[in-house]
Amino acid sequence: MRDRESLKKEVRALLKERDAIMLAHNYQRDEVQETADITGDSLALSQAASESAAKVIVFCGVHFMAESAAILSPQKTVILPRMDAGCPMADMITPEELIREKEKRPGTPVVAYVNTSAAVKALSDICCTSANAVSVVNSLAEDRVYMIPDRNLSHYVSLSAKKKMEWWDGFCPTHEKLKPEEVLKAKAENPGAVFVCHPECSPAVVRLADHVCSTSGMYRYAKSSAAKTIIVGTEMGILYRLKKENPDKNFILPSRSLVCPNMKLTALEDVAESLREMKNVVSVPEDIRAGAKAALDRMLKVPRDF
């Protein structure tokens, strides 16, 4: 096996040679985050993808994220180093199912979490991420909203949004595994600790949180919090930067289940191989791309919640 430093050097050299930028989601393996040009949550990475001048975008994340980059920047080559890195939540609603739900609710706008396929986005009015979901819902003129596909994010938004909301019954298998008992145990073992979680956690877990936010929101929260110990309710990849940026603080993962197998697929060797061969290019058919882009562009005009 090649050592990490020589692989990292090869990836950086290939990026330069190909005029490429490497984006990595906050859940990626440590060595991938360490090598990337930009790390961030899904909102920050879609913005970076649309603003970058590079010819090639290497998206270290899951399929819907690379697809969003291809939708926003059709003139760029978007590479997903592991084509098998999907998001089970995004697969929980199909275009046919969404069409049936829309027929039941004429005139009700559809808010699609970015964790959806391009074809589902194309049937939606506006997208959102966990970083702007409340603002996106409140930005709509209608007083009713149908949100897809995450029941947990939708429930969380419904607690503060000024709209009547209905939603699809999807969920993230990784966040769903975190149980309130595990959070209560971590709290009991760490008196004085605060608990921050992602809105993809179940309502019973969200109720226990001192703060609920996107993955990048967690970095801002960790820096600003006076607490020395922070219990973190999201995927374990978040710990890499949390620890690096806050060496004086202690971060606790309350469950061993907080691992997204899809986010962990991408190794540095996959990044190097895809750049060497310029393979694993993600593209979206033009008829779908135009509709999906309209929903993403509308979202990008709305400010972050936190």
| Binding residues among 131-170 for ligand SF4 as defined by CB under 6 A | none
Q: Examine residue 129 and tell whether it contacts ligand 13P (CB under 6 A).
A: yes
Binds 52, which of ligand 13P, ligand SF4, none (CB < 5 to 8 A, cut-off by type)?
Answer: none
263 sits near ligand SF4 (criterion: CB under 6 A): yes
The three state secondary structure string of the chain is CCCHHHHHHHHHHHHHHCCEEEEEECCCCHHHHHHCCEEECHHHHHHHHHHCCCCEEEEECCHHHHHHHHHHCCCCEEECCCCCCCCCCHHHCCHHHHHHHHHHCCCCCEEEECCCCHHHHHCCCEEECCCCHHHHHHHCCCCEEEEECEHHHHHHHHHHCCCEEEECCECCHHHHCCCHHHHHHHHHHCCCCEEEECCCCCHHHHCCCCEECCHHHHHHHHHHCCCCEEEEECCHHHHHHHHHHCCCCEEECCCCCCCCCCCCCCCHHHHHHHHHHCCCECCCCHHHHHHHHHHHHHHHCCCCCC
Nearer to ligand SF4, 95 or 173 (CB): 173
Name the residue nearer to ligand 13P (CB basis): 85 or 172: 172
Please report whether residue 205 would count as binding ligand SF4 according to CB under 6 A.
no
| 87 forms part of the interface with ligand SF4 (CB under 6 A) | yes
Residues between 192 and 251 that touch ligand 13P (CB under 6 A): 198, 200, 214-215
Q: Please tell me whether residue 68 binds ligand 13P under the rule CB under 6 A.
A: no
Out of 145, 231, 260, 296, the residue judged to bind ligand SF4 by CB under 6 A = 260
Residue among 21 and 197 whose Cβ is closer to ligand 13P = 197
Instruction: Note the residues at the interface with ligand SF4 (CB under 6 A).
Output: 62, 87-89, 115, 172-175, 200, 235, 260, 262-263
Instruction: Note the residues at the interface with ligand 13P (CB under 6 A).
Output: 26, 41-42, 115, 129-131, 172, 198, 200, 214-215
